[in-house]
């Protein structure tokens, strides 16, 4: 799957001022909601429920929060680059500054496991990660991630 089919420029935010994991998940929900005609609170609860099973902070300053959405046919992604790293309970106990969130229709979860895997692979590339961290605009961040 092309990442540009689920991630749009207006769901890509650089230099976000965010102070906590909870606020990051709220922001992701607020950004994603209009794109899939969902209530932001429902999206937030889906992301939070997934986090309760175990942190989606995969280490090296990266988190890939994800959740299931109901009564929706389309997946949506949100990419945030935090101005300052935030505590995220990551597996390496390091704060997170790059978040790629994926919200998928409940019945398409298996299909999107490949998407999560390819995102994790992309974010584990040190060169790509360095570029993402140095992106100065939403446009630059979006182009780097979707290229």
Catalytic status, residue 112: no
φ/ψ of residue 12, rounded to 5: -120, 120
| Catalytic residue (choose from 35, 66, 112, 127) | 66
Residues 29 and 53: their CA atoms lie apart, in Å, by 19
Residues 147 and 58: their CA atoms lie apart, in Å, by 22
Residue whose token pair is 């298996």: 110
Residues 94 and 34: their CA atoms lie apart, in Å, by 32
DSSP 8-state symbol, 62: E
- Active site residues per annotation: 66
């Amino acid at each position: 799957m092309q990442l540009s089919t689920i991630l749009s420029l207006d769901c890509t935010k650089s230099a976000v001022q965010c102070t906590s994991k909870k606020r990051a998940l709220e922001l992701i929900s607020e950004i994603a909601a209009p794109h899939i005609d969902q209530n932001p609170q429902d999206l937030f609860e889906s992301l939070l429920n997934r986090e309760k099973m175990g942190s989606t902070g995969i280490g090296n300053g990266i988190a890939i929060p994800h959740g299931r959405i109901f009564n929706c046919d389309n997946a949506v992604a949100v990419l945030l680059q935090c101005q300052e790293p935030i505590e995220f309970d990551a597996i390496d106990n390091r704060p997170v500054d790059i978040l790629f969130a994926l919200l998928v229709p409940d019945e398409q979860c298996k299909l999107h496991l490949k998407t999560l895997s390819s995102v994790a692979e992309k974010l584990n590339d040190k060169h790509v990660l360095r570029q993402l961290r140095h992106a100065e605009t939403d446009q630059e961040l979006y182009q780097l991630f979707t290229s």
